[in-house]
Structure 1
């Protein structure tokens, strides 16, 4: 079964000091072939934050995390440094500034499991690890956010393994802890697919129109360019049309947050 399946995005909003943004991978995504992986995009900004992959070489088979780009600041909770690997977390384990983080891509400390014919087995995700979690720290702009990844792994043999990606979430409040498995207030979780939000016309000249937004008595809009730079923001919007004539031609991403939902979509400005 190939890695890249349809993903339905769900977002949970918590009142108070924290806001958990949760993505439910539905159906679960199974990766069981080497040189395949799963790209995790915590904040749905079309830029992958970290990849979980299966890799092999002559006499080597590994399951590990890798950064999207070499310069990315993404970390995983680790045990044992380079000689250890990614920690196996249980439901409600704390992920915060007090956790022992290791920079993904800086060595073998991001390893879940690996076997080298000339030296043996490494990592803590051995055998079957059912419904466990990875603790993650990553950057949005200049701020760190804490996050978790929910998965099940199977090591059948040194050259036969798989993982099942089930979901992930992060705390959208910078530097605020999150508990493994915390999806916020379950009564406030809604499934949002790319087809729920319609932007028209697309490409657009001056006036952009929105359709498909629920709970829309009032909402906030942010538009970023392809580099992630914020270029336009509207607060407390109460209509479905607005002017973007001041934007330069190019590709942009729009993020719309209502009282109960978050939408994200790409559009082109002529």
Structure 2
């Protein structure tokens, strides 16, 4: 429900904004694309494997394995880490093109070490088989993995030889906002996805002022345990959330745009 607020309160919230931020120690977390350029490109093949660490936390998320079969295999190190593909009999990862969307919309994901996908195998010979990676350049793997229990989507760009005896890893990236899509090859957020970055958030007493909203915006207030205590939406440019029904304390305000799906989070003190 839209809350009508007096212009006097709106002005007071704006005036005290800087002071409130300073006292409360407000911090924010904006969604972004975390991109890694593999420099120099990594060349692998028979007996030369590659551990793909998507979030660069020193824990390998996916493995690319070379073999004398000849073959190039791909698998998720953890059961929750998976890749998008086709053909359940042989589990071929898709060779995505630049710009293809990687998200929950994909229906076929293979996860864990028990589902080793074939990037290239003897099935490439003579046009027999269903591998999507027979002698390709600058194609993308669609990836899904978890960080602290949250699902993230990403990509990795590779070349694979027609004979299946070598592969090259060039770069990879993921969307740092949980459950948000990423396009194959995407390295930065678009202008639309930054639509919430200009929003000003001011918390005074039990009122939370939102300013410079450019589109329909959903809001959710979480307590320190992660429980949602207040939520709603607005299509106004300026809007005040009245939080009289919740206790004093530290909260996380999450704003998500209805159109661009951009998400920002700020710590507030009520």
Higher relative contact order (CA 8 A, sep 6+): 2
Give the unaligned 5+ runs of structure 2.
1-27, 191-270
CA contact (8 A) 1:84 1:122 kept: no
Aligned to 1:236: none
> Which of these residues, 90, 99, 105, is aligned with residue 92 of structure 1?
99
Give the equivalent residue in structure 1 for 2:71.
62
Structure number having the greater strand percentage: 1
Per-residue Cα deviation, 1:14-39 (whole angstroms, up to 9, x for no partner): x996310000011111113x121111
Equivalent positions of 1:1-270 (< 5 A) are 18-32=31-45, 34-56=46-68, 60-68=69-77, 71-99=78-106, 100-108=108-116, 110-115=117-122, 121=129, 123-126=131-134, 128-156=135-163, 161-184=165-188
User: Within 1, Cα distance between the matches of 2:79 and 2:36?
Assistant: 21
Deviation, 1:179, is 0.3
Determine if contact 1:29/1:166 at 8 Å carries over to the other structure.
yes
Q: Which has the higher helix share?
A: 2
**Shift, 1:141, TM fit:** 1.6
Q: CA-to-partner distance for each residue in 1:121-162, whole Å, 9 max, x for gaps?
A: 552211x21111000001112111000001111123xxx521
> CA–CA distance in 2 between the matches of 1:20 and 1:82?
33
Counterparts of 2:29 and 2:56, CA distance in 1? 23
Cα RMSD (Å) of the superposition?
A: 2.3
Specify the alignment match of 2:198 in structure 1: none
Q: How many residues align?
A: 158
* d(CA) in 1 for partners of 2:189, 2:177: 16
TM-score normalised over the length of structure 1: 0.54
